[in-house]
A and B are shown apart, each in its own frame.
Chain A
Amino acid sequence: MGKHLLDEHREKIWILLESGGGTVEELEKKMGEKYNTESLEQLVTGGDIRVDEKTHEINFTPKGLEAGRLLIRSHRIAERLISDVLGGEFEIGACEFEHLTNKDLVDSLCTLLGHPRECPHGHPIPLGECCRISADTVKSSILPLSSLEIGQCAEIAYVQCKDKREIHLLEGLQLKPGTTVKLHQRFPTYVIEVEGTQIAVDDEVVKNIKIWVSSTRSSCGEAAGDQAEDQAQRGHRRPRGFRFRGRRRIP
């Protein structure tokens, strides 16, 4: 239990610092009843955080930063997982999940989900080792829409936004988890089709729309006759779109 309480404090301190820093009092206000002076002292003596004596401003030590980072990372990746895979209320499970901070496990999940950059709330997910080397995408279950081949369809897993306000436009166009999207054209501008409408989008938007690899299929099967072929395609776990990977430039 003690560790849970400490982690709770680490997490809230991270969120506080993320929004530009804060003092002990602000932390207390944010945490409300959950706030515990002992836990904070434990973090200080444990060399995780520093508290400025005059301003009461809290800061992570390098060691604490690493711990907080892993914590937040696993929490937000868990939210992504629960929200996208189970389509459910992500708040409930994720809080428990964050305490399982096995680094390798989190990295595998991150890879599986296609290295998401933000949680379903729109908060940034700290980069992990796996994101930096950004290889291993073959093992991902989720890839950017740009990895599809022309003419292929797939189901959207989740959509990342450049600006959180953009979600209104994207979701309005039905670019949202669960809908099927088809890639029509790549150059000079991506053209995709969703719910019967074709949309031209720039490269960044296409990269930020993530699709389930297993849902990829070549015939977009509106008609019943396509079902059989659908099934066959689904059997292939690796879509042909991977051929393009070699040519893609990594910025």
Chain B
Amino acid sequence: MSTAPSKKIIILGLPNTGKTQIFNNLTGTYGIVSNYPMTTLQAQRAEVKTLPEEYTLIDAPGFHSLFIQSEEELEVRRLLLSEKPDIILHCIDANRLKQSLFLTFDIMELGIPMVVSLNAIDETDAKGMAIDEKELSKALGVPVVKTAATEGRGTAELLSALKNATVPSLPSKYPEKIEEMIEALSDRVPIEIPYRRKILLLLLLQDSFLTWEWLSGKEEQENLKRAVTNLLEDYNGNIHYAVSRTKNRWVSEIASNTIKKQGVFSDRFSEGMARLSRNPATGFPLLFFFLLLSYFIVVHVAGFLEEVLSSLISDPIVSFIGRIISDGWIKDFLIGDYGILTLGLFNAVFTVLPVLSVFFLLFGLLEDMGYLPNLSILVRRLFNRIGLSGKAIMPIVLGFGCKTMATLTTRSIASKKERTIAIFLIAFGIPCSAQMGLNMAILGNAGVASFIIALGFLFFVELVAGALLNKLIKDDASGSFILELPPFRIPNLYAVLKKTYYRLFWFLRESIAIFIIAAVGLFVFDALGGLDFLKWFLHPVIVNWLGLPVDMVEALILTMARHEIAAGFILNLSNAGRLSFIQSIISVVITTMFVPCIANIVAIFKELGAKTGLVMVLSINLVSFLLAGILNWTLILFLGS
């Protein structure tokens, strides 16, 4: 990065409008793109290389309005204030023009030069919907570029439009009384405050996330607050209604001038999949089908890859080293039970990687199809029973992707109680995509019944834990459940492959070193006799209570470093025929529940604070041992040992 101040462009828009895809197209970098909201949680930035001047592009999370009602949308406002962007690249999903325009109104009021990317134009074209972008450009007073970001269409035009970004006209005035109130407040707010009109309006709307500190000194703050209350008291009416009515009147006007032809929504695939996946009669079988299909594909395809790779590469290397190096600590260090090659590098690349590549590919297909949000439709009522209103469901569903990300999305839950429960449930019984893939592989040797039992058990304990927590934690008000559903789309294979490639690349980049360090650590720990002591000490728990081979102590230690290492280790045990049916289930169940990964723990602490976070992590560990043991003895009771 050079020291010259570069111009900042921020991408703003509703959730799931393709902001990250545009970001990727313009910068040539890669951020995860999916067909559902909340894929981008934290802003990412990169340089736009193709423009002559220096530009930094910031990809912001999606949001609905600058009037904020949950913490998750705070990020965008924080970015606007801290970054003070020079240009806004406003991303509009052409399918949802009216919904987007409602946000456009807000953005235009900021008075920042702007360019509109009218995205997903390929889809509206297919539908037969026609939007007059020239008319739209005229109405907004800014350049409008039609794009189809997934195909890269319109990228060049967008680049040149960015050079001609203009300050939009003020969309519309509010009713006279509100304008008067804005005027009346105006004197009390320092002139240098950015986005003044917007801030004044937010003050009047009594936005609960607005921090007053930076507006004024302590005394002025109190005066300002009092002035707002006085004004509102004299205002006979509901300012929220009045403001959104004004916005929508403007939206309708623009839409009727620019939408030249309405499209007919009749995508067979989309409609059919939507109906199938949302109706419980077909939705649950479909979910089950997807799970079993992935199970068989992971077990067979990944198993095959793993075999081929190890017989071609890792086995020959291990036996070669075995032949040229005589027995001793060096040999053990390289290819022993805790060798940096066997447990470290080869485990990562030849055992874990094949499983992850197959599962990430499958998961990416489901993601880009838009399947995941529909799960919340299926399970909502069940979650209602255990005290979770709708808001908590989407974050929990997202936990199947990445638990850390999912923990961060709980910011969208206004109720503190539900947020705590959701964070607990995400950390507790939900296997993230990596874990799910590896669980499938581990249970591959034990057969499909073991997979069903393990998943069924995890689902059951989640429900019980949710219900118990609901009783334990004090009640507070909960918000309504309103979830926009992305349309089902036929996934683009190239996009899915690219996403899978990046996920695998990031996995290797982040974890190869950890794999090797963990192997070295375990090697040293074993050499010092610590491992034997721990095995002796934990024998009653591991062997007697959980019914697992004593080697599982190593797996549990490795879990703390990274779940994938432990899974690789267990997978090797399983492949060596050292795990029975019940043992396979128990080892999967315990490693799924036991210690969430480090990133997840960090996220928990960040969201709940150190004290609650610590209590949560400790109790999860304790409970996971308890429950896995109970499952063990129940299975023995019914199936015999």
By a beta-carbon cutoff of 8 Å, the part of chain A in contact with chain B is: 91, 120-123, 162-174, 176, 184-185, 187-189, 191, 195-202, 204-205, 222-223
Contact = CB atoms under 8 A, between A and B. Distances in A.
Given A199-B483, A202-B480, 20 more contacts: A123-B238, A164-B240, A164-B241, A165-B205, A169-B64, A171-B247, A171-B248, A172-B102, A184-B278, A185-B275, A185-B279, A187-B280, A191-B377, A191-B485, A195-B99, A197-B99, A198-B487, A199-B484, A200-B376, A202-B481
A176 B238 contact: no
A201 B479 CA distance: 11
Interface residues of B, number: 49
B65 A168 contact: yes
A162 B480 contact: yes
Given A168-B69, A191-B278, A199 B380 contact: no
Interface in B306-320: none
Nearest to A89: B175
Nearest to A204: B480
B265 interface: yes
Interface string B402-439: 00000000000000000000000000000000000000
Contacts of B65: 168-169, 172
A197 B389 CA distance: 22
A216 B99 CA distance: 23
A196 B376 contact: no
Interface in B363-383: 373, 376-382
B160 interface: no
B482 A198 contact: no
A162 B280 CA distance: 28
A11 B65 CA distance: 35
Contact of B248 (A123, A176, A191, A199): A176
A189 B96 contact: no
B67 A120 contact: no
B62 to A, nearest CB: 12
B99 A174 contact: yes
Contacts of B245: 171
Contact of A202 (B236, B378, B390): B390
Contact of A199 (B95, B103, B482): B482
B480 A198 contact: no
Contacts of B544: none
A162 B484 CA distance: 19
A221 to B, nearest CB: 10
B69 A169 contact: yes
Interface in B218-252: 236-238, 240-241, 243-245, 247-248
A197 B96 contact: yes
Nearest to B414: A163
B98 interface: yes
A202 B280 contact: no
Contact of B482 (A91, A120, A174, A205): A205
Contact of A172 (B99, B274, B278, B389): B99
Nearest to B127: A196
A171 B244 contact: yes
A191 B390 CA distance: 13
Contact of A189 (B64, B205, B380, B480): B380
A169 B482 contact: yes
Contacts of B98: 174, 195
24 contacts: A120-B238, A122-B240, A163-B479, A164-B240, A166-B69, A167-B241, A168-B240, A168-B243, A169-B65, A169-B69, A172-B99, A173-B99, A174-B99, A176-B244, A188-B380, A189-B278, A189-B380, A199-B484, A200-B390, A200-B481, A201-B482, A202-B384, A205-B480, A222-B265
